[in-house]
């Protein structure tokens, strides 16, 4: 029997123009920072933006942006709270920032439930902060969010990029659009992945140099937008004309 929540998801997302999943092959590459600051940049440009943290095991976008004391409103579904003109939804509203251990079908059920009850209304962009790797979340996003496109984040590490290749191969096999790959924490001494992307059929969007001041700005959106990280990410956004 068809799950009625699937139809509800289509309705909830019907007014969302663009869905962008920010993903990575491994953790610790700056994926959540890219998601958070990307949402800020797009909102600053005047777009209607939503940010959804789907990293069930270690959600962190609320910490990066400094979101405190805001909770969803219940009215024929869940209305995400607004922070800095960004509609924000995260598993922390349900887990109370405690570890959430879910397997297989339990994860999918929780994921489907959140999508089915969240009322985004009109959005130009819905940014998804994905858990790292190829997992249930990746496959469920592809299955239930038909308009999704991926931005992939990697560091200039051979190990990080090797997992990214597998993620790109999976998305290409499933014919999912990849906007491109961002190389984060770049330095003059590090391995460069830009030249190798042609082999795996993904566009190289650009480099973001390592920014030692970035973490000091977590929790303060005004300071975040003045960082070298933010400036470089905005250049990338302008280039791809999001």
Report the pLDDT value the prediction gives residue 177, as an integer from 0 to 100: 94
Report the pLDDT value the prediction gives residue 214, as an integer from 0 to 100: 96
Task: Spell out the residues 6+ positions from residue 168 whose beta carbon is closer than 8 angstroms to its own.
Answer: 152, 178, 181, 200, 201, 202
Residue 102's Cβ-count burial label (10 Å; 0-12, 13-18, 19+) is middle
Mean pLDDT per 10-residue segment, the chain (242 residues): 83 96 91 98 97 87 94 91 96 72 72 90 97 84 92 88 88 93 79 63 88 95 97 94 68
Report the pLDDT value the prediction gives residue 66, as an integer from 0 to 100: 96
Q: Apex CA 19: angle with CA 13 and CA 20, to 5°?
A: 155
Total of domains in the chain: 1
130-153 exposure pattern, b = at least 16 Cβ within 10 A, e = fewer:
bbbeeebbbebbbebbeebbbbbb
Look up the CATH number of the domain holding residue 148: 3.40.50.300
Report the pLDDT value the prediction gives residue 98, as an integer from 0 to 100: 65
Q: Which two tokens stand for residue 206?
A: 């650009």
Q: Which two tokens stand for residue 36?
A: 């958070």
Domain that holds residue 89: 4-240
Task: Spell out the residues 6+ positions from residue 66 whose beta carbon is closer than 8 angstroms to its own.
Answer: 218, 219, 220, 221
């Amino acid at each position: 029997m068809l799950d009625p929540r699937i139809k509800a998801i289509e309705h909830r997302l019907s007014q969302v123009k663009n869905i962008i999943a920010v993903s990575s092959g491994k953790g610790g590459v700056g994926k959540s920072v890219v998601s958070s600051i990307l949402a800020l940049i797009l909102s600053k440009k005047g777009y209607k933006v939503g940010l959804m943290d789907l990293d069930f095991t270690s959600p962190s976008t609320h910490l990066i942006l400094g979101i405190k004391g805001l909770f969803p409103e219940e009215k024929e579904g869940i209305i995400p709270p607004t922070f800095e003109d960004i509609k924000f939804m995260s598993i922390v509203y349900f887990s109370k920032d405690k570890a959430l251990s879910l397997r297989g079908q339990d994860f999918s059920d929780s994921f489907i439930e959140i999508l089915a009850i969240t009322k985004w209304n009109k959005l130009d962009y819905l940014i998804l902060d994905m858990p790292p790797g190829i997992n249930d979340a990746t496959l469920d996003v592809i299955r239930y969010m038909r308009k999704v496109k991926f931005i992939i984040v990697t560091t200039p590490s051979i190990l990080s990029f090797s997992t990214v290749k597998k993620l790109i191969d999976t998305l290409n096999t499933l014919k999912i659009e990849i906007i491109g790959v961002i190389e984060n924490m770049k330095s003059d001494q590090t391995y460069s992945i830009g030249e190798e992307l042609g082999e795996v059929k993904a566009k190289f969007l650009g480099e973001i140099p390592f920014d030692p001041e970035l973490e000091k700005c977590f929790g303060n959106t005004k300071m975040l937008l003045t960082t070298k990280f933010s400036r470089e990410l905005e250049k990338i956004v302008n280039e791809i004309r999001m």
